[in-house]
């Protein structure tokens, strides 16, 4: 049962309603309400889009927000490719297993860990850029791209647009690299569909684990894990039922998703693929 959320409500009532949607169990959030918090807590992934194009001004704004995120040592080790061309989008969708949201969204952003730029800068100064050869630098590029992308998501949602992350482009990063003409040292981390949400395909806010499961104080403790997962299975079952989705316990979903090599849908070769794409991963 979704709590009533008056669209024009603000303040404590609205904050409590947002927390109730997100957790479906008691969760106090004792701060002041503001518009930014409302945008963040209201997030839902959008898989049904109207055909209207995304204004170029919204993309510029999203990129400015993305660039405003922190970057490790200000290396800015990421880039983005914005794809509107339908044929290119369809070819990329084949990599991702033909998802409805990619077929419908007028814009697909591919977020890249970009070590080609620092590598070229090093080369200009006569250096091989040896530090880039390590797992640490790959991870740095991935983190930079993720922080940037999340800021873009928040900015786009504040403008009334919807988004959905597409991890499935990692099913075949080599095919994505070919399609986008990526140079050596650039890795496609994830995609992001963007568009105006179709009100006829509206998704609700997905419940998450209780805060006690993810937030530890001073040291990591795991004694409460079992109890919290049972209540979360129930919360997610309610959500699935309301959304007319097939019902499955979250714990079973997790087992299915990570239980076998086959469940990774080709991503078990990601390390070898990254090496082919110019990341030695030492």
- Enumerate residues 107-136 that contact its own copies by CB under 8 A: 112, 114, 116-118, 120-122, 124-125, 127-132, 134-136
Q: In terms of residues, how long is the chain?
A: 282
d(CA 117, CA 278): 13
d(CA 234, CA 227): 12
Q: How far is the CB of 57 from its own copies (least distance, A)?
A: 4
User: What token pair was written down for 121?
Assistant: 């800068």
Helix or strand (DSSP H, E) at 179: helix 173-180
Q: Which phi and psi (to 5°) does residue 136 adopt?
A: -50, -45
Contact between 225 and its own copies by CB under 8 A: the answer reads yes
Which residues 56-75 are close enough to bind its own copies by CB under 8 A?
Answer: 56-61, 63-75
Contact between 250 and its own copies by CB under 8 A: the answer reads yes
Which residues 178-207 are close enough to bind its own copies by CB under 8 A?
Answer: 180-183, 186, 189-190, 205-206
Q: How many CB atoms lie within 10 A of CB 118?
A: 19
Residue from 92, 152, 143 nearest 114 by CA: 143
Which residues 12-51 are close enough to bind its own copies by CB under 8 A?
Answer: 19, 22-23, 27-32, 34-37, 39-43, 45
The stretch among 2-10, 76-84, 92-100, 195-203 that binds its own copies (CB under 8 A) is 76-84
Considering only 5, 50, 147, 203, the residue that binds its own copies (CB under 8 A) is 147
The stretch among 1-9, 90-98, 195-203, 256-264 that binds its own copies (CB under 8 A) is 256-264
Considering only 219, 223, 244, 246, the residue that binds its own copies (CB under 8 A) is 219
d(CA 92, CA 166): 11
Q: Which residue has the tokens 């650039």?
A: 186
Q: How far is the CB of 152 from its own copies (least distance, A)?
A: 9
d(CA 232, CA 209): 6
Q: How far is the CB of 135 from its own copies (least distance, A)?
A: 4
d(CA 37, CA 55): 25
Contact between 231 and its own copies by CB under 8 A: the answer reads no
d(CA 22, CA 44): 10
Q: How far is the CB of 129 from its own copies (least distance, A)?
A: 5
Which one, 4 or 87, has the nearer CB to its own copies?
A: 87
């Amino acid at each position: 049962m979704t709590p009533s959320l008056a669209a024009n409500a603000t303040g404590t009532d609205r904050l409590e309603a947002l927390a109730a949607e997100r957790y479906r169990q008691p969760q106090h959030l004792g701060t002041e309400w503001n518009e930014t918090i409302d945008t963040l807590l209201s997030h839902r992934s959008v898989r049904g889009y109207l055909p209207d194009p995304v204004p170029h001004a919204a993309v510029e704004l999203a990129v400015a927000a993305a660039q405003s995120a922190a970057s490790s040592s200000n290396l800015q080790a990421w880039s983005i490719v914005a794809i509107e061309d339908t044929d290119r989008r369809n070819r990329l969708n084949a990599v991702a297993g033909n998802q409805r949201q990619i077929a419908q969204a007028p814009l697909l952003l591919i977020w890249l860990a970009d070590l080609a730029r620092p590598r070229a800068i090093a080369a200009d100064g006569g250096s091989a850029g040896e530090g880039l050869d390590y797992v640490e630098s790959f991870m740095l590029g991935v983190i930079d791209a993720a922080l940037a992308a999340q800021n873009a998501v928040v900015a786009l949602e504040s403008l009334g647009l919807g988004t959905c992350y597409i991890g499935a482009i990692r099913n075949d990063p080599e095919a994505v690299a070919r399609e986008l003409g990526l140079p050596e040292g650039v890795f496609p981390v994830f995609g992001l569909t963007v568009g105006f949400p179709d009100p006829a395909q509206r998704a609700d806010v997905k419940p998450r684990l209780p805060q006690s499961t993810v937030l530890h104080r001073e040291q990591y403790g795991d004694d409460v894990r079992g109890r919290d997962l049972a209540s979360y299975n129930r919360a997610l079952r309610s959500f699935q039922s309301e959304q007319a989705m097939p019902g499955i316990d979250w714990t079973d979903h997790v087992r299915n998703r990570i239980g076998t090599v086959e469940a990774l849908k080709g991503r078990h070769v990601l390390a070898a693929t990254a090496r082919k794409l110019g990341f030695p991963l030492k």
